[in-house]
Chains A and B, each alone.
Chain A
Amino acid sequence: DTTVKQNPRYKLARVGKPVNLICSQTMNHDTMYWYQKKPNQAPKLLLFYYDKILNREADTFEKFQSSRPNNSFCSLYIGSAGLEYSAMYLCASSRALGGRQDTQYFGPGTRLLVL
């Protein structure tokens, strides 16, 4: 089973309110990623967890937080949503193969609309 699940699939949020998105995988992958995708733009890596270590991209460091309570789950947290956060959020996971990370498997995404 190479399924990555994301909840919810659609999220409506108000400006200034927090948003929490959930991702899960049962493949025992040690690395989980979060990407942001806006229309006509490439998916952009926001952060990733390798095991329990969180790595956030420099240009989105202050905007997104994440937690990984166990190997299967990873959340993406926005403390105060702004209009610019409206996008598709894609979760992915990968495992170590032959000493390096292998294919990333993507979830269906959560479409966030901030009003």
Chain B
Amino acid sequence: GEQVEQLPSILRVQEGSSASINCSYEDSASNYFPWYKQEPGENPKLIIDIRSNMERKQIQELIVLLDKKAKRFSLHITDTQPGDSAMYFCAASIASSSFSKLVFGQGTSLSVVP
């Protein structure tokens, strides 16, 4: 079945700098790639996603890149703030009419230090 590898598992950056998280997947049929942010005690919340018909998507300081040939996608957070500190999960999915079967990466614990 589909496997998703996410790196790094721990990331510590200076406030104001950029943070990058990389994921790779195996199933070339995957067509939907969401990113979730989970803060302590909270449920995972979708922050940005990209579908296979796109290569780049940006929402404010979040940029997602997708390289379908290499089966890799990445999240870039520009101008990080302490509020960006959280656990981040990437996922790959084949979205059909009846389900969107997410396979998650292991997660990245991001710490933004002043």
Contact = CB atoms under 8 A, between A and B. Distances in A.
- Do A and B form a real pair? yes
Interface of A: 4, 30-31, 33, 40-45, 48, 50-51, 53, 55, 90, 94, 96, 99-109
B105 to A, nearest CB: 6
Interface stretch (B55-63, B71-79, B89-97): B89-97
Contacts of A94: 99-100
A106 B39 CA distance: 13
A102 B95 CA distance: 8
Given A42-B104, A103-B49, A108 B42 contact: yes
A99 B51 CA distance: 14
A110 B102 CA distance: 19
A109 B105 CA distance: 18
A109 B43 contact: yes
Nearest to A107: B43
A9 to B, nearest CB: 10
Query: Closest 4 A-B residue pairs measured CB to CB?
Result: A101-B100, A42-B104, A50-B98, A100-B95
A4 B43 CA distance: 10
A26 B85 CA distance: 30
Given A40-B106, A42-B104, A42-B107, A31 B98 contact: yes
